[in-house]
Amino acid sequence: MKESDLYIPLKRFLESQNYEVKGEVQNCDVLAVRGEEIPVVVELKLSFNLTVLLQAVERLSLTPIVYIGVPRDTPIVTRKEKQATRLLRMLGLGLLLIDPDPVRGKVNVLVDPGEYKPRKSKIRRQRLLGEFSKRVGDPNLGGTEMRRGIMTAYRQQAIAIGLFLQKNGPTKASRVARSIGDPKARNIMYRDVYGWFERESPGIYKVSPRGDRELPYWGDEGEGVLERKSLIT
């Protein structure tokens, strides 16, 4: 397939809306004009990539109505449509999915150009700042791979509980909470998100075999949690 294979179906689509359409006008792949209205520019590409985004953004200096036209089965669009459309809206660009069939090919308008007004989430921002303030120290390198797991404030709390139980053995939940200064300790042991805790008897918890295996995996960071919070008893 060539980029020019997308032109005929697109030209037919625009002409059906009474546009006069011409290709390759002043570095624009497609220029469509309808009377005295603002002109429409379409940049054609066989894939949705940074190159076409930069080209389309450059065309915004000519007109506010700029579309990117790609084949209808472009992988990054079909697999990550939500992310792709959000990016285009942020940039003020449109997106056309084009069937290259010269006779029956249709054009689907996925996004129209327009001013981007993101919906702000106060709750998500509060969660973000809450995690920032609760996290002890700065345990993660920015860009760290997720396979090992990110050190969150919740994980830090669980590590502190696990290390306390490893040192002191089976302990009543209320004593754990008082000793490490964490009123949520009982709930963390009860929920047992990481599988690190076991209830030996009502109200009394200990470290599970999985906890014994995985807590050392966090190495010095685990000890650092206790030291920075002055939790070692």
**Residue pair 165/205 in contact by the 8 Å Cβ criterion:** yes
Global pTM reads 0.55
Residue 4 has a CB neighbour count (10 Å cut-off) of: 12
Residue 9 lies in a domain: yes
In eight-state DSSP terms, residue 5 is G
Residue 12: give its domain's CATH number. Answer: 3.40.1350.10
Residue 164 lies in a domain: yes
Residue 209's contacts (CB-CB under 8 Å, 6 or more residues apart) are: none
Q: How many residues does the chain have?
A: 233
For residue 140, the model assigns a pLDDT of 53
pLDDT in tens, 68-82: 999 988 777 767 778
Compute the distance between CA of residue 37 and CA of residue 233 in angstroms, rounded to an integer.
Answer: 76
Compute the distance between CA of residue 4 and CA of residue 18 in angstroms, rounded to an integer.
Answer: 21
Compute the distance between CA of residue 94 and CA of residue 67 in angstroms, rounded to an integer.
Answer: 4
Domain count, the chain: 2
Mark whether 184 and 217 lie in a shared domain.
yes
pLDDT higher than threshold 80 for residue 22: yes
Give the structural domain span for 129.
123-228
Mark whether 143 and 61 lie in a shared domain.
no
Lookup: tokens for 216:
């050392």
The residue ranking higher by pLDDT, 190 or 127, is 190
Residue 66 lies in a domain: yes
Separation in Å, CA 207 to CA 19, 171, 198, 228, 229: 72, 10, 6, 22, 21
Residue 169: give its domain's CATH number. Answer: 1.10.10.10
User: Is residue 11 very low, low, confident or very high in pLDDT (cuts 50, 70, 90)?
Assistant: very high
Amino acid (1-letter code) at residue 56? A
